Amino acid sequence: MNIHEYQAKEIFRRHGMPVPPGDIATTPDRAGELARTYGGSVVVKAQVHAGGRGKAGGVKLAKSADEARSHAEKILGMEIKGLTVEKVLVTPTEDIASEAYVGVIVDRSSKRPVFMVSREGGIDIEEVAATNPEAIRRLTVDPRYGLLPFQAYWLAASLYDDVKQQRAAAKIMGQLYEAFIASGASLAEINPLITTPSGEVKAIDAKMNIDDNELFRRKDVEALRDTSSEPPSEIKAREASLTYIKLDGSIGAVVNGAGLAMATMDLIKFYGGEPANFLDIGGSSNPEKVVNALDIITSDPNVTVILFNIFGGITRCDDVANGIVTATGQMEMKVPLVIRLTGTNEEEGVRILEEAGFSASTSMDDVVKRAVEQAQ
Ligand code: GDP
Ligand code: MN
């Protein structure tokens, strides 16, 4: 789950990090009013779940409340990477002497939190990693001990020459690590971490991604969810207890089990196709899940064919078949279905489908090939 900058900053503040004040506006008037309370010189920042807002025109400096109002007027309603801006953060402008990058992520290969810091702040870390990888210092944290003080100093020493700034940055990194762990985050990033002309170190941008699997035990973090920033299909899937991730291809896949869903996507790619989604309808026998799954997949205009790949264990093939018949009876299907059913109650499932005018195969290889052909 992504959260907004203003929400991440609130978490940072709670962990003692030096973050400038700020508040949210949904109207230009409110942005102007806030700017007045901060003395007029403010930054107006689009709150959307996308990076690179600065480049897209979603971060604007204002010298007066009137200017803040007119910036907000432009930014509210603007689209950034397909997301409509509904809120802006209004925050006092900081004078910047330098911009650095500080981030911590869960690293899949070491299975541990990894810090990355760089003097090259303000730009995407991916860009720095690609063009100037020596400019990034990395440190793997042992989660049993957390970020130890000497490690934080070692990281901070690569960012600043001034001892006071090194100390300040080391402290911030310790707090960032605490915030990261306490929130169940998979990523926490300060870009840029600035120094001011008078030598202070501050976080003026904040980004956090929360691991969805941490949410059930963190209701306060779950409450930060902004559904207006999520694809409607993913919201619908979550409400229907389906695991669904939208992708960019044309083959919609309905599969039971995460492992089989991964294997299905691999096979689609192997035969030259592109999956439109990852969708796991889970292990239970419930025709309604199939109805919801089809509803979600057919709402994606990129989908040109739908592939069912069901391996019946606890899931019964006849239930899935009934789900397909019910769903296709309820909605107008504009794309062909390619179905593979095997396992528990397979004969019954195939019979139900054939009576309804569908054909079903028991071979995964066959149906994936067919789906790839039909998608083209
Ligand atoms: P992002 O583009 O979405 O990462 O948004 P940021 O909050 O990182 O802002 C982008 C850039 O705008 C920063 O790297 C700064 O150069 C600039 N910026 C943001 N806030 C301030 C500020 O308070 N003062 C000044 N002078 N520049 C700012
Ligand atoms: Mn930034």
DSSP string of 86-144? Answer: --EEEEEPPP-SEEEEEEEEEETTTTEEEEEEES--SS-HHHHHHH-GGGEEEEE--TT
Reported confidence tier of residue 201, pLDDT bands at 50, 70, 90? very high
pLDDT at 333: 86
Reported confidence tier of residue 82, pLDDT bands at 50, 70, 90? confident
The residue among 183, 181, 187, 151 whose CA lies nearest residue 169 is 151
Domain 98-222 = CATH 1.20.5.510: no
**Stretch 94-105: mean pLDDT:** 98
**Stretch 301-308: mean pLDDT:** 95
The residue among 215, 214, 200, 189 whose CA lies nearest residue 167 is 200
pLDDT at 229: 78
pLDDT at 44: 98
Whether the bond between 113 and the residue before it is cis, its omega within 30 degrees of 0, is: no
How many Å apart are CA 201 and CA 99, to the nearest integer?
A: 10
Give the catalytic positions in this structure. Answer: 101, 189
What residue ranges do the domains of the chain occupy?
21-92, 98-222, 231-375
Q: What fold characterizes domain 21-92? A: Dna Ligase; domain 1 (3.30.1490)
pLDDT at 72: 97
231-375 architecture in CATH? 3-Layer(aba) Sandwich (3.40)
Higher pLDDT, 313 or 155: 155
pLDDT at 52: 83
Going from the Cα of 204 to the center of ligand 1, the distance in angstroms, rounded, reads 7
pLDDT at 285: 59
Cβ of 205 closer than 6 Å to ligand 1, yes or no, is yes
Whole-structure pTM value? 0.81
Higher pLDDT, 8 or 237: 8
Angle, CA of 28, 32 and 36, to the nearest 5°? 170
**Stretch 119-146: mean pLDDT:** 93
Q: Which two tokens stand for residue 168?
A: 């300040």
How many Å apart are CA 295 and CA 19, to the nearest integer?
A: 44
DSSP string of 344-362? Answer: TTHHHHHHHHHHTT--EES
The residue among 105, 186, 164 whose CA lies nearest residue 140 is 105
Reported confidence tier of residue 315, pLDDT bands at 50, 70, 90? confident
User: In ligand 1, which atom is closest to the CA atom of 46?
Assistant: 3
Cβ of 96 closer than 6 Å to ligand 1, yes or no, is yes
**Stretch 242-264: mean pLDDT:** 93
Cβ of 282 closer than 6 Å to ligand 1, yes or no, is no
Going from the Cα of 54 to the center of ligand 1, the distance in angstroms, rounded, reads 7
Going from the Cα of 99 to the center of ligand 2, the distance in angstroms, rounded, reads 10
Residue 170 pLDDT greater than 80, yes or no:
yes
**C-alpha R_g of the chain:** 25
pLDDT at 284: 64
Asked whether this chain's domains 98-222 and 231-375 adopt the same fold, the reply is: no
